[in-house]
Amino acid sequence: MKHLDIKLENCFGIGKLEHQFNFDLSNTHLVYAPNGTMKTSLAKTFELISQGDTIDKPCDRIYKSRISKYDVLSDGVEIDPNDILVINAEDDSFDASSKISSFLASKVLKDEYDEIYQILNELKLEFVKKLKSISQSTDCEIELIHTFQEDDNFDFFEILNNQIGFLKSEFEKYDFRYNDIFDKKGNVEKFLDRNKDILDQYSKDYKNIISKSKFFKESSTNTFGTYQANTIIKSIEDNSFFEAGHKFVLDDGTEVENADALKSIIDNEIQNILNDEKLRKSFEKVDKAIGSNAELRSFKKVIEKDNLILVKLKNYENFKREVWINYLSEIRGEAINIVNQYNKKKNRLQEIISESNKEFELWTNIIKIYNSRFHVPFKVNILNQKDIILKEDTANLSFEYSDRGEDAVKQDRTNLLAILSKGEQRAYFILHFLFEIEARKLRMNNNLLIFDDVSDSFDYKNKFAIIEYMREVHQQTQFKTIVLTHNFDFYRTVASRLQLKREAIYMATKTHQNEINIHKGEYVNDVFSYFINNFKNPKFFISLIAFVRNLIEYSDSKKNTDYLTLTCCLHRKEETENLKVYQIFNIFKDRLVKLKDKTINFGDKNLIELINETAESICVEGNNEIALENKISLAIAIRLEAEKYLINKLPKIDITKIKKNQTQFLYKEYCNKNPDSEARFTLDKVNLMTPENIHINAFMFEPLIDMSNNHLILLYNEVKSLN
């Protein structure tokens, strides 16, 4: 992209804007736009163009009938919306975590990885279908993983590999659906925790009955219960055991010589247990505790069908694992096959991941840069590195919050944003734009970046951090950047740090018709040196009065004779009317080395006349919204005209006794004596609009620039009409 041509009409308050950015001159162009001029409107227009939405388009949101035009041409061709990225740290919906996956492992490694996992995933797909049929679980793969997962690196294959040794050739089948007991919301587990005492009593009563049984037994290490008994019945149900001449002899001496007899004994024992009065009462307590809770309805049906499950549920997690082991045991052959296939490829998969990790360094480097440069109370990490690289998952970012030297506490995104300040939140959102920008480096296309006041609300350390990153982007040819700002300090700093050419620095102004004009940027360097160098121009001469007066105030005192004389230039004092320009110029020459041997051709002129003439000439010139010297000269003229009016209306006031804040003092006196005067509204505007322009120092550039020259002209004419 060499040239970017913009032609806009009626786009979010921009009446008209035409400009060409020449990227042959500079990769970065900087635009200072006072508040309310065009910055947000231009950024919003680019944002909507980038989205390519056929419905939500740039428009005039107030005057719907106005026809909007938004032609943005890259080297004469309509710009590709995908080439545009608007970077606005206020955009809390922007999440570029997924962009990390665009920097994938090399194609050869990725293809091999995919080929291996395709084989494994096909086996897994069939296996999970069977497992779901057995368990009737709503999401058996995830629930299996959660049951046995020891850390985030344990996937389905690794878990199956770890559990394969526990699978059984003889297993228990369950009549209940998995989620009837192990529900996703955890309602059953919560119920069991709340009613622990009742369940403990039920378990105690059950063990007491078992201890008296002539068939079922329980020791400290093992239990011979219904599952074990049913397993025996299953193995002898064809009577071949007995036909071979064998028989069972029970603990009490009873001899069993066929399968039906054994089954009858077991059934009687189970009924004796379930019909036990004490155990039945214990179960009724459990049943009553469940009550009419709709969320436990399915669980209630399960335990009503088989009371003895309550004994197993005394250790909820152990029983859950036992259930899964039995489910898996039903398809043990398929499980062994998958594990064998996985183990054959496991070492190669780890080698591929190891190679891919080297290519992941770009993203970890971004995180390091962010953590080191940005001053925020949290550190950022990426957790699921392997999945990002090879499975193209979205990055799982973790945040560790720490302040006052305390240990770091992990926070999720929602909690983190809730506790951060406005500036810290903006710094967080900048992280996502860093991901997006880095991902765009891989594209062959031109990338147009629009930075929309990215440093607003930042402290100085974070402001310089983002400027440093912008400088690095500026040095890369695949990015063309437009920086929009209404912060004058940021404007000057970006121009300096990026060493931008003057042809790439602009200031924007707006006419009454909302037409935006892009001018050559001014005041990038020392403003006061610029004023001193142009002292022969009356506008600059008048503007220097406030500056030199401040110098004397800081270097000497307010009692200094020169300071008092310059004060007479800014306020109506006894000496004001008779001051000559040369008197002021002599003070300048004493204080400013550059002017020591200089001369001017208007030295004999009355100072007040010079100020008024200069103000009149500025009014005739028209609306130059950039020139600081115009605004300062007008502000001084306005102040003097206002005080002239006030003093005439307050003849009893002795101005020699007013030691400070003269305009304010006169204004208050006037309002007390003339509470209904229409002039109060004009005089109030004088107090609001002129102080920052007259009492000037290095921290007041921005109010000077942002002040509308046209508003000052109107105010000057209003005040003049009072007199």
Kindly state the average pLDDT of the residues 351-364: 70
In percent, how much of the chain has pLDDT > 70?
85
* Confidence grade of residue 164 (pLDDT, cut at 50, 70, 90): very high
* 577, pLDDT greater than 90: yes
* pLDDT tens, position by position, 517-550: 999 998 888 788 889 999 999 999 999 998 999 8
In this structure, are residues 494 and 470 in contact, taking their beta carbons and an 8 Å threshold?
A: yes
Phi/psi of residue 539, each to 5°? -60, -45
Taken as a whole, the chain contains a residue count of 723
Q: Give 292's contacts (C-beta < 8 A, 6+ positions apart).
A: none
* 283, pLDDT greater than 90: no
* Confidence grade of residue 204 (pLDDT, cut at 50, 70, 90): confident
Beta bridge partners of 354: none
* Confidence grade of residue 247 (pLDDT, cut at 50, 70, 90): confident
Q: Which of 172-176, 311-315, 622-626 has the lowest mean pLDDT?
A: 622-626
Lookup: tokens for 291: 């009550």
Predicted local distance difference test score (pLDDT) of residue 110: 67
- The CA distance from 72 to 522, in Å, is 26
SS3 98: helix
* 647, pLDDT greater than 60: yes
Lookup: tokens for 589: 């020459």
Higher pLDDT, 361 or 143: 143
Kindly state the average pLDDT of the residues 37-53: 91
* Confidence grade of residue 7 (pLDDT, cut at 50, 70, 90): very high
Domain definitions of the chain by residue range = 3-103+360-520, 178-305, 527-722
* pLDDT tens, position by position, 205-235: 777 766 666 666 666 566 665 556 667 777 7
* Confidence grade of residue 394 (pLDDT, cut at 50, 70, 90): very low
In this structure, are residues 16 and 516 in contact, taking their beta carbons and an 8 Å threshold?
A: yes
- The CA distance from 644 to 641, in Å, is 5
* pLDDT tens, position by position, 301-320: 877 777 778 878 888 899 99
Residue in this structure with the two tokens 């229409």, named with its chain if needed: 678
Higher pLDDT, 187 or 26: 26
The helix, strand and coil proportions of the chain, stated in percent and rounded to the nearest 5, come to: 60, 10, 30
Predicted local distance difference test score (pLDDT) of residue 430: 80
Predicted local distance difference test score (pLDDT) of residue 172: 84
| DSSP conformational letter for 264 | H
Kindly state the average pLDDT of the residues 476-504: 91
Higher pLDDT, 190 or 289: 190
Q: Which of 430, 473, 415, 414 is nearest to 449 (CA)?
A: 473
Phi/psi of residue 503, each to 5°? -70, -15
* 703, pLDDT greater than 70: no
Helices (H), 256-378: 259-274, 277-290, 297-305, 309-312, 316-330, 332-359, 361-373
Rg (CA), the chain: 42
Residue in this structure with the two tokens 């307590």, named with its chain if needed: 285
- The CA distance from 360 to 256, in Å, is 70
* pLDDT tens, position by position, 74-110: 999 999 998 999 988 676 666 555 444 444 445 666 6
Predicted local distance difference test score (pLDDT) of residue 102: 44
Beta bridge partners of 255: 249
- The CA distance from 704 to 61, in Å, is 30
Name the packing angle between helices 156-163 and 332-359 (round to 10°).
130
Amino acid at 512: H
Predicted local distance difference test score (pLDDT) of residue 464: 85
Predicted local distance difference test score (pLDDT) of residue 620: 92
Predicted local distance difference test score (pLDDT) of residue 221: 60
Name the class of domain 3-103+360-520. alpha beta
Rounded-to-10 torsion of CA 524, 527, 533, 535:
140
Kindly state the average pLDDT of the residues 568-595: 95
Q: Which of 1, 176, 156, 185 is nearest to 77 (CA)?
A: 1
In this structure, are residues 712 and 631 in contact, taking their beta carbons and an 8 Å threshold?
A: yes
Find how far residue 529's CA is from the centre of its chain: 41
* Confidence grade of residue 560 (pLDDT, cut at 50, 70, 90): very high
Q: Which of 263, 190, 201 is nearest to 226 (CA)?
A: 263
* 388, pLDDT greater than 60: no
Q: Judging by beta carbons within 10 Å of its beta carbon (0-12, 13-18, 19+), is residue 663 exposed, middle or buried? A: buried
Find how far residue 39's CA is from the centre of its chain: 21
- The secondary element (H helix, E strand) that includes residue 221 is none
- Between the ranges 203-207, 256-260, 677-681, where is the mean pLDDT highest? 677-681
- The secondary element (H helix, E strand) that includes residue 480 is strand 479-485
* Confidence grade of residue 237 (pLDDT, cut at 50, 70, 90): confident
Amino acid at 526: D
Predicted local distance difference test score (pLDDT) of residue 107: 60
Kindly state the average pLDDT of the residues 410-435: 78
Predicted local distance difference test score (pLDDT) of residue 363: 67
Predicted local distance difference test score (pLDDT) of residue 105: 44
Task: State in Å, rounded, how far the first CA of the chain is from the last one.
Answer: 58
